[in-house]
Amino acid sequence: DQQVKQNSPSLSVQEGRISILNCDYTNSMFDYFLWYKKYPAEGPTFLISISSIKDKNEDGRFTVFLNKSAKHLSLHIVPSQPGDSAVYFCAASAYNAGNMLTFGGGTRLMVKP
Amino acid sequence: DSGVTQTPKHLITATGQRVTLRCSPRSGDLSVYWYQQSLDQGLQFLIQYYNGEERAKGNILERFSAQQFPDLHSELNLSSLELGDSALYFCASSVRLAGGVNEQFFGPGTRLTVL
């Protein structure tokens, strides 16, 4: 049973436009959510996070939105740049579960010049 | 550079063999996590150590074991290797055990190929 799902395996966006990556979760105990970016042959790089007490967190071009009632979060990248092309993973953790991360399957973002 | 180091970068071995993967966490981080990423799969949590003690177990096979040493580096031991164990193995570290802003920082991974 996948507790964290990224239903879009890939997304193609034009440079300068908005990229929206989506993530759904089923475990209501999750209280902290993170997005990681991964390039081939490298480890995941932390991008942005959000606590369940918030519904939005912004860091430069990256904004994460959390809808707890829908158990849904999204990552917005504005404006998208070719260097953003990578695989994006959303992850979730629960305070009483030792901070281990449960990852989604990833979405491959391609930003075309 | 996340500050987490993993060795070796690549490992090729045969079925039935045993290997050891090594991880050094970021300076000051007490928690170490191991994850496995098989081909076209997301990352699966294997095991967590905090300050030398095992704190959580995920989908880790009985053939796999890990430990964290007093200097906080960690080793993941994989034995009786099978073809299906071929994967990327990532180590991550974080400052605290749980709660609050506690992102995990990942190493570059060890690519294990079992022939």
Question: pLDDT by residue (tens digit) across B19-55?
Answer: 999 999 999 899 999 999 987 678 999 999 989 999 8
Please give, rounded to a whole number of angstroms, the shortest distance from the CA of A105 to a CA of chain B: 4
Q: Do A32 and B102 touch (CB under 8 A)?
A: yes
Look at the alpha carbons of A74, A75, A76, A81 in this order and tell me if their dihedral is positive or negative: negative
Spatial CB neighbours of A13, under 8 Å, sequence gap ≥ 6: A19, A80, A109, A110, A111, A112
Please give, rounded to a whole number of angstroms, the shortest distance from the CA of B99 to a CA of chain A: 5
Q: Position of tokens 């970021």?
A: B26
Q: What is the identity of the amino acid at B95?
A: V
* Predicted local distance difference test score (pLDDT) of residue B103: 83
- CA-nearest of B24, B28, B26, B30 to B7 is B24
Q: Identify all chain B residues contacting A102, using CB atoms and an 8 Å cutoff.
A: 45
Which residue from B42, B98, B108 is facing A103, i.e. has the nearest CB?
A: B42
* Predicted local distance difference test score (pLDDT) of residue A64: 97
C-alpha neighbours within 13 Å on the C-beta side of residue B39: 6
- pLDDT, one tens digit per residue, over A12-41 is 999 999 999 999 999 999 989 999 999 988
pLDDT at B101 over 60: no
Which residue from B2, B94, B109 is facing A99, i.e. has the nearest CB?
A: B94
For strands B10-13 and B110-114, give the pairing: parallel
pLDDT at A111 over 60: yes
Which residue from A46, A100, A105 is facing B48, i.e. has the nearest CB?
A: A100
* Predicted local distance difference test score (pLDDT) of residue A60: 97
| pLDDT band, residue A98 (cuts 50/70/90) | low
- Are A105 and A6 contacting, i.e. CB atoms less than 8 angstroms apart? yes
Burial of A110 per CB tally in 10 Å (0-12, 13-18, 19+): middle
Please give, rounded to a whole number of angstroms, the shortest distance from the CA of B109 to a CA of chain A: 6
Residue to test with chain A: of B60, B102, B103, B113, most A Cβ within 10 A: B103
Helix intervals (H) in B1-115: none
Q: Identify all chain A residues contacting B51, using CB atoms and an 8 Å cutoff.
A: none
| pLDDT band, residue B1 (cuts 50/70/90) | confident
pLDDT at B70 over 70: yes
| pLDDT band, residue A77 (cuts 50/70/90) | very high
Structure tokens, A4: 């964290």
DSSP letter at B25? P
How far, in Å, CA of B57 to CA of B31, rounded? Answer: 13
